[in-house]
Amino acid sequence: MVYPFLWLDAIHYKVRHEGRVVTKAIYCVLGLNQEGYKDLLGLYVSENEGAKFWLQVLTDLKNRGLDDVFIACIDSLTGFAEAIESIFPCTEVQLCLMHQIRNSRKYYIAWKDVKAFMQDLTQVYRARTRELAEANLDKLGARWGAKYPVVLAAQLGTLVGLLCLCP
């Protein structure tokens, strides 16, 4: 069984366990099959998210018949890409765009600027053509470049890869 694309992420939930509320990580593996349909390949529960548990999840998927994955979309969890590479060595690992945007917003942008910055950034990601995306990126840089150079540098790396895919 080969999946061209996998999304791997953990969702954190509060659950009642033995009379107290604890946080659990639910590991979700969603795959896009060769016919273009999404399949839920697995849900796994753990105390918290970590690369070691992801390695167990990937090993289980391999043992259940997953032969190859072309692209794996993940967050920036330390050791996660290496865990994928150890089980599926030819897989291209891609960092999730939404995680990158969310982390930039959460850690680097002042709360008062978040709404306006995200509106401007959305114009870049939703552009229908490469030229429009580049023009919107220039506007974003002109407006926010001096105030948030770290965020724009991080977004620029992601955007350059995406712009290569635009028609």
Please say if the pLDDT value at position 24 is more than 90.
yes
**Higher-confidence residue: 102 or 41?**
41
- Alpha-carbon distance 148 to 108, whole Å? 7
**Higher-confidence residue: 148 or 154?**
148
pLDDT for residue 157: 60
pTM of the predicted model, to two decimals?
0.69
**Higher-confidence residue: 138 or 63?**
63
Say what percent of the chain tops pLDDT 90: 47
**Higher-confidence residue: 133 or 101?**
133
- The three-state DSSP-derived secondary structure of the chain is CEEEEEEEEEEEEEEEECCEEEEEEEEEEEEECCCCCEEEEEEEEECCCCHHHHHHHHHHHHHCCCCEEEEEEECCCCCHHHHHHHHCCCCEEEECHHHHHHHHHHHHCCHHHHHHHHHHHHHHHCCCCHHHHHHHHHHHHHHHCCCCHHHHHHHHHHHHHHHCCCC
Say what percent of the chain tops pLDDT 70: 88
36 Rama sector, left if φ>0, alpha if ψ -120 to 50, beta otherwise:
left
Q: What fold does the segment set 2-95 form as a domain? A: Nucleotidyltransferase; domain 5 (3.30.420)
Report pLDDT digits (tens) over 45-75: 998 899 999 999 999 999 999 999 999 999 8
pLDDT for residue 86: 95
Please say if the pLDDT value at position 82 is more than 80.
yes
**Higher-confidence residue: 161 or 62?**
62
